[in-house]
Amino acid sequence: MRFSLRACFLLAAALGSLGWETLSLGCPFCGVVDVPLAQRRDAAESVAIGEAAGEIDPSTAGKLAQPFRIQQVVRPPTGFDARVGAIVPAEVAGPVVGTALLLGTAGEPGTALRWSAISADETLLGYALAAPPGATTAATRLEWFAGRLWHPDPRIAADALAEFAAAPFAAVVATSGAFDANRLCAAVSDPGISQGQRGFFGLALGIVAATTASPEERAACLAALHAAVEAPADDFRAGFAGILAGALVAEGEQGLVYLRKRGFLSPAARPIDQRHLLSALRFAWENLAEELPQSAVAAATLALVESPAVAAEAIVDSARYGAWEGLESVAAIWHTTGADDPQLRRAVAGYLSACPLQEAREQIAAISRKDPQRWAEALSAAALPRAETLP
């Protein structure tokens, strides 16, 4: 969906001023991931395999460098020298023992290649060199990586996950036939997997449930998702936002009804769970308009305005969605929970300033008359132009 200039400005300014980041394209639930090896390989001027030829040089300032002897040149550089047997200094994350993948990048004209080294055994080298190039269609590439999400080498499994994290959501959906539904069902309740894995596996399980032609497989996926949603909660539910998003992907509006019945939209719900739900709702707004009407996403977000722990975030998101029907409730927060919370006042000021309705102008006038200094401070902190200045 294409946003209006008003919505784009509001999202960038309000989320930025409150310290929140926007979501990534493919999987905003994967956590922090490294740049995939295939992407780093494709961006390099030269690719080689080397072996450590000494210890880290302590004289290099600011970066760790270690010498390597080139054993094989996989991709010769253009206009640079990279010979088998040559010893080159390479930037490393830490000491490397044995073999490494060497990636050479071009610097200034007339200078040598700048090398970086990634510690790699034969398995990781084979994976890094065999991974499909970026020129391959996204869905085709992801099918190759889908089979490696469960690789016994955790570096390869993490790199495959990074590929999905960076991919467009449509490409992830197109890969649904390559996912192992049985493994996904088991994984979402496995305490041994990482937060990023659980978040992505929950999302992928929802995709499989929504796209499979097998009623039995769909039922199994939904049962696994519901069991993960309903599992006893602790203070930190790793990847739970991805599981909630998976429920919305799998069932659309019925999935939101299910989460409402489970109490996630109630002010009495656990704050951490409501933060996860807000993330899932943002994902739904961006990606699931056909399966889950944006009006329903906006209504659910407005319901969270009544929950003090997430009210500021919910107000900012409601403004982003143009959910102006919540104007009266949002304005009232200035005088209640917002009285002692600068972040809430900032969110209210942003919402009212962006709202195009005359009632918003009246609310602003009333607040600024009664509380002029704090209104001016909140408006300045929100860093938003008034609605009439936006096209």
DSSP symbols for 32-56: S-PPPHHHHHHH-SEEEEEEE-S--
Residue 237 lies in a domain: no
Average pLDDT over the chain, rounded to an integer: 87
Q: How many domains does the structure of the chain reveal?
A: 1
Q: Please check the confidence at residue 321 and state whether its pLDDT lies above 60.
A: yes
174 within a domain of the structure (yes/no):
no
DSSP E strand boundaries for 97-217:
99-105, 114-119
pLDDT digits (tens, 9 = 90+) for 135-190: 899 889 999 999 999 999 999 999 999 999 989 999 999 999 999 999 999 999 88
* Residue 311 resides in a domain: no
Q: Is 381 helix (H, G, I), strand (E, B) or coil?
A: helix
- The verdict on residue 83 lying in a domain is yes
> Mean pLDDT, to the nearest integer, of 295-315?
95
pLDDT in tens, 365-391: 999 999 999 999 998 887 644 444 333
Q: Which residues pair with 91 in a beta bridge?
A: 65, 116
Write out pLDDT tens, residues 188-243: 988 888 888 999 999 999 999 999 999 999 999 999 999 999 988 766 677 899 99
Q: d(Cα 322, Cα 76) in Å, to the nearest integer?
A: 54
Which region, left, alpha or beta, applies to residue 273 given φ > 0 means left and ψ of -120 to 50 means alpha? Answer: alpha
- Structural domain contains residue 217: no
pLDDT of residue 253: 96
Mean pLDDT of 299-303: 96
- d(Cα 127, Cα 125) in Å, to the nearest integer? 5
Please report, for residues 219, 247, 260, 278, 325, the alpha-carbon distance to residue 299 in angstroms, rounded to integers and kept in the order given: 28, 18, 11, 12, 9
Within a domain: 327: no
Give the residue numbers spanning the domain of 97: 37-129
More confident residue, 166 or 301: 301
Query: What pLDDT sits at residue 175?
Result: 94
The CATH number assigned to the domain holding 93 equals 2.40.50.120
Within a domain: 87: yes
Provide the pLDDT for residue 388.
Answer: 40
How far is it, in rounded angstroms, from Cα 107 to Cα 116? 13
In a domain, 188, yes or no: no
